[in-house]
């Protein structure tokens, strides 16, 4: 890429990110002012026992999808794949956010229930995001091998980002880190819309007033997977897919939060911009307990043992 083309690409990416940020902010403001089906539908309880709203997720997903569809300098296939990934993963994630009961945990829990004939919302989401990833990969095009790898990237990244949405700001920081790595491979334009939308809502997330939930994390993760698919060569894509698969498998037996807490650089980054650990605003207390592994949670991230009475806000599905 020539210096001139590189500058034009950077300018286009910055413009797309800025537009996505503005769209996400406007969407979030509208949704919180006029919440569909009422505010209680979207309210959950975070790891401190405080209320947060899930409306951050739909705002981020819709803004990122809309801007990705008009980002200049991308071919039609990439635009279509990004939009399909965002809409599909966001829709299935939103369904699980609102309808999930939390009585099945992890892939093993949902797939085990499915084997016994019990179709959980998590199982529907797993199948739906898999189908969404395949559809997005087909839109992107390529050989059957490339379509399979790209479908895995989209669906795998959607699920993995959701596993990081367990503390305020954590998933968005992963979005920023992943997009920086993609920039090295030429994926700046493809990742600009999800990055801009995520950045705009980072203050709400860090302030523990809102959270991405499955709708937001699945949508942004799926878009990053497609950005990787559109910008990396096959060997690099296979390596990224292997890393995603390994981390997802590890999440069944290892708590990401425990690993972060025991690794000083990761802990510093994780706490950057966050409130000090404690049970509630203005109340001193020990550091928030680490969440269980994915094997101890359902696919949406409800902590084991939490209950969700219909008369009270449900526990936050990401553990925030």
Q: Is the alpha carbon torsion for 31, 227, 174, 180 positive or negative?
A: negative
Residue with the two structure tokens 């219909």:
310
pTM: 0.86
- Which 3 state secondary structure label does DSSP give 295? helix
pLDDT at residue number 82 = 97
Residue spans of alpha helices (H) in the chain: 3-33, 39-42, 56-68, 76-99, 106-115, 121-140, 144-164, 170-184, 188-206, 213-231, 234-251, 256-262, 264-271
| Tens-digit pLDDT profile for residues 191-225 | 999 999 999 999 999 999 999 999 999 999 999 99
How many other β-carbons are positioned within 10 Å of the β-carbon of residue 250?
15
Q: In terms of pLDDT, which residue wins out, 309 or 181?
A: 181
How many other β-carbons are positioned within 10 Å of the β-carbon of residue 311?
5
pLDDT at residue number 136 = 98
- Listed residue (240, 265, 266) closest to 255, CA to CA: 266
pLDDT > 70: percent of the chain? 78
Q: In terms of pLDDT, which residue wins out, 107 or 123?
A: 123
Residue 105 has pLDDT above 70, yes or no: no
Q: How far is residue 96's CA from residue 103's CA, in Å, rounded to a whole number?
A: 12
pLDDT at residue number 290 = 44
- Report residue 302's pLDDT band, with 50, 70 and 90 as the boundaries: very low
Residue 163 has pLDDT above 80, yes or no: yes
- Report residue 73's pLDDT band, with 50, 70 and 90 as the boundaries: confident
Tell me what the pLDDT averaged over the chain comes to: 84
Q: How far is residue 221's CA from residue 174's CA, in Å, rounded to a whole number?
A: 9
- Report residue 114's pLDDT band, with 50, 70 and 90 as the boundaries: low
Domains of the chain, residue spans: 10-275+289-315
- Which 3 state secondary structure label does DSSP give 116? coil
Q: How far is residue 135's CA from residue 254's CA, in Å, rounded to a whole number?
A: 31
pLDDT at residue number 242 = 98
């Amino acid at each position: 890429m020539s210096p001139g083309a590189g500058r034009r690409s950077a300018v286009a990416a910055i413009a797309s990110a800025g537009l996505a940020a503005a769209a996400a902010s406007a969407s979030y403001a509208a949704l919180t002012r006029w919440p569909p089906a009422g505010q209680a539908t979207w309210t959950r309880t975070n790891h401190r026992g405080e209320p947060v709203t899930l409306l951050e997720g739909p705002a981020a997903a819709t803004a990122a999808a809309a801007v990705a569809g008009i980002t200049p300098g991308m071919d039609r296939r990439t635009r279509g794949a990004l939009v399909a990934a965002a809409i599909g993963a966001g829709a299935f994630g939103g369904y699980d956010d609102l309808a999930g009961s939390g009585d099945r945990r992890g892939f093993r829990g949902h797939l085990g229930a499915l084997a016994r004939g019990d179709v959980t919302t998590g199982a529907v989401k797993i199948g739906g995001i898999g189908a969404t990833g395949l559809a997005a990969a087909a839109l992107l095009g390529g050989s059957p091998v490339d379509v399979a790898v790209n479908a895995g990237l989209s669906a795998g990244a959607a699920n993995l980002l959701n596993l990081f949405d367990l503390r305020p700001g954590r998933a968005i920081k992963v979005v920023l880190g992943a997009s920086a790595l993609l920039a090295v491979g030429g994926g700046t334009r493809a990742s600009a819309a999800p990055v801009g939308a995520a950045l705009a809502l980072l203050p709400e997330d860090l302030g523990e007033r809102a959270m991405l939930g499955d709708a937001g994390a699945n949508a942004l993760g799926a878009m990053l997977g497609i950005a990787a698919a559109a910008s990396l060569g096959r060997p690099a894509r296979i390596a990224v897919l292997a890393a995603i698969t390994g981390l997802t498998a590890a999440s069944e037996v290892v708590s990401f939060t425990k690993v972060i807490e025991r690794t000083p650089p990761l802990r510093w980054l994780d706490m950057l911009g966050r409130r000090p650990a404690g049970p509630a605003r203005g109340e001193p207390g020990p550091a928030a307990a680490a969440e269980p592994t994915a094997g101890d949670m359902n696919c949406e991230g409800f902590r084991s043992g939490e209950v969700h009475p219909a008369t009270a806000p449900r526990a936050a599905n990401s553990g925030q």
